[in-house]
Structure 1
Amino acid sequence: MLRRFLPITAILLAAGCVQAPAEPEEAALSIPKIEQAWNAEGFESPEGVAAAPDGGYFISNVVGEGSEKDGDGYIAHLSHDGAITKRYWAAKLDAPKGMAVLDGALYATDIDNVVMFGVADGKRLGKVRIEGAKFLNDATPWDGAIYVSDSGDAAIYRISDGAAELWLQDERLAGVNGLLGEGDRMLVSTMTTGSLFSVTAEGELTEIASGMENADGIGPVPGGGYLVSSWPGQIHYVGEDGVVTTLVDGEVMQNDLTVIGDTVIVPNWGQNTVTVWKVSR
């Protein structure tokens, strides 16, 4: 898979001819840029993000090891401008990670359970235990249900009407992490090969891109393409053609990246911070 870094200085034509370099402004149109808007501190191993109904964000805090059932994990509420308005928004969990909202409920993955809370008041609504799950990670709403990834078993589960079923399991999904339901397909990232896949409702997998070390969160970019975080410290742009462009490459961990409009919000597990970026073309 072709990987390129900014800036792009030339375009090779399929016929073998070389086109004159595009003007800088023209070349930049196809690749988005992201600029940091703010950074919030005071979290404890933050990992997941979901939009709150008041325009703020829910942030999951693992607090320790991601597979330890210690009852120390929790979900915090963060305002739209970066203030922690409620540290313990709901009842404590073990190691909450991915979250998704559907029909007034917030679903949070918690090792081998998915726990539901009322999105308006944080009241616990129940949980779904997934027998055999090893390391539940991300969550996404899609086609009227909630889908969750199991990073430890190359599997994706579907939750509907309070029950879970195995939806897809494939060796190509080793280290499956991020999920994003979008239209008639789901986007899926994996840590083992650093791939971004497209999956149909029937479970047909198509690899879009690969080589993104420990790929994590996925978010759509206005105008086309996707941002994909690599939790060791990168944010990539994957174009519709599958070309990967690395936009951020540093030592700050980039975990469950989420895009809401032109806002990109990323928990930084190792730094106990949450960073918000703005994406534009």
Structure 2
Amino acid sequence: MKFSAKPSILHLFCIGAIVGLATGCGPSTTNQESESAAVTEAPNEPGMELLWETPAELTTNESVHFEAGDGILYVANIEGGPDEKDGVGSISKVSTSGEILERDWVSGLHAPKGMTVMNDHLYVTDIDELVAIDLATGEITETYEVEGAVFLNDATSDGEKVYFSDMRTNTIHYLEDGEIHTFASEQKNINGLRIGNGGILYGLDAEGLKQYNSDGSFEIINSEVTGGDGLIILDEKTFIASRWAGEVYLVQDGTATKILDTTKEESNTADIGFIPDENIVLVPTFFKNKVAAYSLTY
């Protein structure tokens, strides 16, 4: 309804009095508070922003492991052929700001790939062996030959066992009390492994992202990110998975979102690492011979 006559002064006074009485009796709400209540912050778009890169001196680096105990990044450099027992592979130590501290902290390996820490030792997969390195000294203290192994890849630990994958025999093994056991077989092209809360094992293979039960059975959490390489667990429903060719995905509540693509630059994204307190994803670039650090938003 529309009125053509202008309101009288008395009319305006009455309206003002009524409004004043109402606001005086009820809770006070300013315009600023009303606007603030109406505005909700938009959620952050998931993504990765480059922070730093090391010098290109880490030859065919395949894996990065951040060790919270000493604040060091350990980098596995294949250097020669990825399946050749040539003795030219190495492990480097890098600071969390990208400075190469010791280029050849450990040398004489073949084609080192996945790494994990248990009982003050760095465990590294090396084609058909699992190698234990003393973190304090850099000395190789034990080498475990894995019968029938062809292409050992990623590694992870729950504090009692070291789990590791063989991509070409489609097998997950584990080391416990000095003995090698088989955890799961027929896991096609199994690569990335990571232990989550409660000792639950997760893995990446040709079928996607899997959550394993204690008997080696599994359920598929996401079937989009197939052929994954590195795996990070943010919480029980949130993961980061990399594909070697240059793609990194955020998997949240079963849905995958690509958050990095460096395929055009031909910069690989192999077995990624993570600094949890700073939300930094560590990317080994393989043929680019450097580690790149990215700030993660999700």
TM-score, with length taken from structure 2:
0.80
Does 2:259 align with 1:247? yes
Query: Which blocks of at least 5 consecutive residues in structure 1 are unaligned?
Result: 1-22
Of residues 259, 282, 297 in structure 2, which corresponds to 1:265? Answer: 282
Please state whether the residue corresponding to 2:109 is helix, strand or coil.
coil
Structure 1 residue 39, shift from structure 2 partner: 0.9
Residues in 2 aligned to 1:149 and 1:106: alpha-carbon distance in whole angstroms: 16
Instruction: Return the alpha-carbon distance in structure 1 between the equivalents of residues 40 and 81 of structure 2.
Output: 46
User: How far did 1:212 drift?
Assistant: 2.4
Number of aligned positions between the proteins: 252
Matched, 1:182 2:199: no
Return the letter of the residue paired with 1:125.
T
Match of 1:244, as an amino acid? A
* Corresponding residue number in structure 1 for 2:182: 166
**Structure 1 partner of 2:112:** 96
The answer as to whether partners of 2:48 and 2:296 remain within 8 angstroms in 1 is: yes
Q: Extract unaligned runs of 5+ from structure 2.
A: 1-38
| Residue of structure 2 in register with 1:233 after alignment | 246
Cα offset, 1:143, TM superposition = 5.4
Alpha-carbon distance in structure 1 between the residues aligned to 2:78 and 2:118: 22
Give 1:34's match in structure 2, choosing from 24, 48, 64: 48
Query: Does the Cα contact within 8 Å between 1:139 and 1:179 map onto a contact in 2?
Result: yes
Q: Aligned pair in 2 of structure 1 residues 196, 224: CA closer, same or farther (>3 Å)?
A: closer
Q: Distance in 2 between matches of 1:118 and 1:223?
A: 31
Q: Give the conservation status (yes or no) of the 8 Å contact 1:75–1:92.
A: no
Q: Which amino acid is 1:249 matched to?
A: D
8 Å contact from structure 2 (residues 193, 202) kept in 1: yes
What SS does the corresponding residue of 1:77 show, helix, strand or coil? strand
Distance change (3 Å), C-alpha of 1:250 and 1:213: farther
Partner letter of residue 212 of structure 2? V
Q: Deviations over 1:142-192 (max 9, x none)?
A: 25110000000110001012221111112xx211000001123111001x3
Q: Which has the larger radius of gyration?
A: 2
Q: Offset of 1:78 from its aligned partner?
A: 0.6
Conserved? CA contact 2:197–2:236, under 8 Å: no
1:222, CA displacement in angstroms? 6.2
1:219 is paired with a residue of what secondary structure?
A: strand
Query: Counterpart of 2:89?
Result: 73
Amino acid in structure 1 at the alignment position of 2:286: W
What's the offset of the Cα at 1:33? Answer: 2.5
Q: Does 1:198 align with 2:211?
A: yes
**How much does 1:25 deviate?**
4.7
Q: TM-score, normalised by structure 1?
A: 0.85
- Answering whether residue 110 of structure 2 is matched by residue 128 of structure 1, we say no
Instruction: Give yes or no for the alignment of 1:46 onto 2:61.
Output: yes
Note the C-alpha offset of 1:120: 1.6
Q: Which residue does 2:5 correspond to in 1?
A: none
Change (3 A) 1:204 1:270: same
**Identical residues among aligned pairs (%):** 30
More helix by share: 2
Q: Which amino acid aligns with 2:231?
A: I
Q: Which of 116, 129, 134 in structure 2 is aligned with 1:118?
A: 134
Amino acid at match of 1:46: N
Contact 1:255 1:267 in 2 (8 A): yes
Question: 2: CA distance between counterparts of 1:93 and 1:233?
Answer: 26
- AA matched with 1:235: V
1:250–1:25 CA distance, 2 compared to 1 (3 A): farther
**Distance of 1:209 and 1:159 partners within structure 2:** 28
Moved over 4 A (4+): none
